[in-house]
Amino acid sequence: MHPKDHWEQVYAARSTDRLGWYKPHLQTSLRWIEEIGLAMDDPIIDVGGGAATLVDDLLDEGYRAITVLDLSRAALSAVKARLGGKAERVTWLEGDIASVDLPAQRYALWHDRAVLHFLTAPEQQRAYREQLLKALKPDGHVIIGTFAPEAPPRCSGLPVQRYSLEQLQSALGREFALKRDHKELHVTPGGVEQMYLYCQFCRSD
């Protein structure tokens, strides 16, 4: 099955709050974004934002240049419906992070919780890095939450690539300087424990 078809089925089969990665608020991401000290009009992209609540909270905080990218049309439709009129203040991109056409050197912040670990093929991982290098500003920031080595080897019916801190640094490359890291246990709505590795990087090339 094509990945897009898989994710359309996942979002069609369950309500947002029953999906494995659902959290009412992404507190770690929100705290780190606040502490970076972005201006309210600095462009932010939430990669694989799906139906997550990060965009809701960023809008409530006053951020004005938010892009949400996801492979699933159903996911984007769900969050647009939830936001109502506020959805008009967001740029929506439907596409695969490995191939979608992103603007060059636009984003001050690249946020990704739970996308990178689904890219298990080396060519997908290389494409992700190339997209990051293309789209992030030279002094931009990166926040990634991905499965740690202790996490299960599969999620939502798909295999995942788990990352140690060293593996994640290697995957992103020398252009990104680690600012902080943190492990966080996520328990899915179904009771499955998933250990996440959160890292913040700054582009330094």
Summarize pLDDT for 72-116 with one digit per residue, the tens.
998 899 899 999 999 999 999 999 999 999 999 999 999 999 899
CA pair distance 17, 78, nearest whole angstrom: 11
- Residue 137 has a pLDDT of 98
pLDDT band at 50 (very low <50, low <70, confident <90, very high): confident
pLDDT band at 7 (very low <50, low <70, confident <90, very high): low
For the segment 47-58, the average pLDDT, to the nearest whole number, is 91
- Residue 1 has a pLDDT of 62
DSSP, res 186: E
At the top level of CATH, the class of 3-203 is alpha beta
What b-and-e string marks burial along 105-118, b requiring 16 or more CB atoms within 10 Å of the CB?
Answer: eebbbbbbbbbbbb
Contact 135, 105 (CB under 8 A): yes
- Residue 101 has a pLDDT of 97
176-187 and 107-113: which strand pairing?
Answer: unpaired
Exposure on the CB side of residue 18, measured as CA atoms within 13 A = 6
Q: Which amino acid is at 201?
A: F
Which of 19-28, 47-56, 105-114, 180-189 reaches the highest mean pLDDT? 105-114
Summarize pLDDT for 113-139 with one digit per residue, the tens.
989 999 999 999 999 999 999 999 999
pLDDT band at 13 (very low <50, low <70, confident <90, very high): low
- Window from 8-22, 30-44, 112-126, 155-169 with minimum mean pLDDT: 8-22
Q: Give the 3-state secondary structure of 86-111.
A: HHHHEEEEECCCCCCCCCCCCEEEEE
Question: Collapsing DSSP states into helix, strand and coil, what is residue 180?
Answer: strand
Q: Has residue 147 got a pLDDT over 70?
A: yes
Question: Collapsing DSSP states into helix, strand and coil, what is residue 187?
Answer: strand
